Amino acid sequence: MHNCTITTESAPEALKIVLSDRLPADLPSIVKTEAEAVQAEKSRKSATIITDAGRFVILKLDDSSWIKDNGENIRILGKQIVDAIRTEKATAGAFISELSDCESRAIAEGIILGDYKFLTCRSGDAAKRDAIAVSLPTANADQVATGIQMAEAQNFARHLGDLPGNLINPQLFLEKATEAFSGIEGIKLKSIYGIDELRDAGFPGLVQVGKAGSTAPALLEIHYTPETTTTDDKLALVGKGLTFDAGGVSLKPAAGMWQMKGDMGGACAVIGAIKAIAALKPAISVTAYIPLAENLMDSVAQRPGDIYQARNGKYIHVDNTDAEGRLVLADVLTYACENGATHMVDAATLTGAVILGLGHSVAAVMGNDSELIESIKTAGEKTGEAWWELPMYPEYRALLDHPHADLNNTGGRPAGTITAGIFLSEFVNEGVKWAHCDIAGTSMQFDKPWRYYDKGLIAFAARSFTQLAEDLASK
């Protein structure tokens, strides 16, 4: 987790941090000269300078075109600030350049998200981290508080996602979520745990996928009811929670299979969003639905060729047990519609194809309602998460045809992300506005740190979904 607190009080004793192109008026002239040099030199991103008035760190804003207009440069600055404090071995730093209201939220997010590290499995010195404090005397205190709440909720979700498969499973996820959400005003939890229980409650997809897991599968519901509502809309957020995806009998190749400990990115997005929503209290009802399972194989595992009947009556042929995400989501989408959702958004690390199409910086969105899709894209622009719409091209529905069942669970390699979306659309009830978010590329960043994120699970979409709830509430 992060080990950092933020205040908006001034901290005269702290390490002073300034932006090279935003210098406060009363700086020692030697700092000004050095700042101008940092600003002018392309290759220099920072400088430290010791003066009679104390130690100063000069930082430069990242001005890459794709991160300038969405606050990402300021979130990255947050990370630069905590890194500078730790590099200088200080316990406190004060950022004394000017900040606007909207930058105040972003910088707080960047500081808390940027200081996150997954240290649960480190020992000795590597497990130790000093607590640091950041002072933001020029920031808007309310916006900072909002940013902290958002980022702490996201870090909670990242931590769940970073836990490896031996330390998190459907049962443990339920336990940890129950502990984290109990006693929060406006929140009610409901869960179904167990194979028989899920079969009886009408979730055959979770049973099919999760019956060979190391624990039983589960469905977790987290209901947020605001004190007062400004709308009759009900938002459902549905997140794929595969605590590990080996592929099942259609086993994945060994190389890189470990990355599937992160196949719960959708669940993390949704749990992060609902945690932030519970703190920020938008005036709209929101429910998070989190199907949890582990896709392994044993003698009771589902087989390729199995055919089963989904909650909405449609028969599904299991062509490939590794296309399990759509199976666990299908019944839950139907269930959320039955529960009165007017707007439904799901997030899932659903297809490898989205990585080939969009890479690790942009996520895919598609659905049945252009206004809702537009709202997600707008929420992403406000929060620094990029979304790209893919077409639900109707001609591709035929790729899911099967002679013995209503639907095949794979549509072949071409347009793999779109056919997965079309599969899900078959389980959304008439009249419900729905969008599907494939975050397989953006949700896990295992190769290198990304922006202000350390390597690992991002909980990508947690901020877009929180913003979406806020925007729908104030429509």
3-state secondary structure at position 289: strand
**237 or 242: CB nearest Zn ion:** 242
**396 or 429: CB nearest ligand BES:** 396
Interface residues for ligand BES in 252-291 (CB under 6 A)? 260, 263
Q: Up-side HSE of residue 167: CA atoms within 13 Å toward CB?
A: 9
Task: Report residue 31 as tokens.
Answer: 């700092």
* Distance from C-alpha of 46 to C-alpha of 18, rounded to nearest angstrom: 10
* Distance from C-alpha of 334 to C-alpha of 116, rounded to nearest angstrom: 36
Residue carrying structure tokens 């056919």: 419
* Distance from C-alpha of 180 to C-alpha of 379, rounded to nearest angstrom: 26
> Is 361 an interacting residue with respect to ligand BES (CB under 6 A)?
no
Q: Looking at residue 396, what DSSP letter applies?
A: G
Amino acid type, 413: R
Per partner kind, with CB cut-offs from 5 to 8 A, the member of ligand BES, Zn ion, none near residue 246 is: none
> Is 245 an interacting residue with respect to ligand BES (CB under 6 A)?
yes
To the query of whether residue 433 is one of the catalytic residues in this protein, the response is no
3-state secondary structure at position 142: helix
Indicate which residue of 252, 314, 377, 397 is catalytic. Answer: 252
- Residue 245's DSSP bridge partners are 295
To the query of whether residue 252 is one of the catalytic residues in this protein, the response is yes
Which candidate, 64, 65, 47, places its Cα nearest to that of 56? Answer: 47
Indicate which residue of 75, 79, 261, 326 is catalytic. Answer: 326
| Interaction pattern, residues 204-243, with ligand BES; x per rule: CB under 6 A | ----------------------------------------
> Is 322 an interacting residue with respect to ligand BES (CB under 6 A)?
yes
Q: Up-side HSE of residue 418: CA atoms within 13 Å toward CB?
A: 16
* Those residues with Cβ within 8 angstroms of residue 299's Cβ, 6 or more apart along the chain or in another chain: none
Of 209-217, 274-282, 307-315, 349-357, the segment contacting ligand BES by CB under 6 A is: 349-357
- Residue 56's DSSP bridge partners are 16, 49
| Interaction pattern, residues 291-320, with ligand BES; x per rule: CB under 6 A | -----------------------------x
Smallest gap from residue 69 Cβ to Zn ion (A): 33
Q: Which position among 80, 287, 342, 351 is part of the footprint of ligand BES (CB under 6 A)?
A: 351
**325 or 384: CB nearest ligand BES:** 325
**277 or 350: CB nearest ligand BES:** 350
Which candidate, 35, 39, 62, places its Cα nearest to that of 49? Answer: 35
* Distance from C-alpha of 222 to C-alpha of 228, rounded to nearest angstrom: 18
Interface residues for ligand BES in 405-464 (CB under 6 A)? 410, 416, 440
Smallest gap from residue 67 Cβ to ligand BES (A): 24
> Is 470 an interacting residue with respect to ligand BES (CB under 6 A)?
no
Task: Report residue 346 as tokens.
Answer: 């799901």
Per partner kind, with CB cut-offs from 5 to 8 A, the member of Zn ion, ligand BES, none near residue 320 is: ligand BES
- Interface residues with Zn ion (CB under 5 A) are 242, 245, 263, 322, 324-325
Q: Which residues bind ligand BES (CB under 6 A)?
A: 245, 260, 263, 320, 322-325, 349-353, 410, 416, 440
Catalytic (active-site) positions = 252, 326
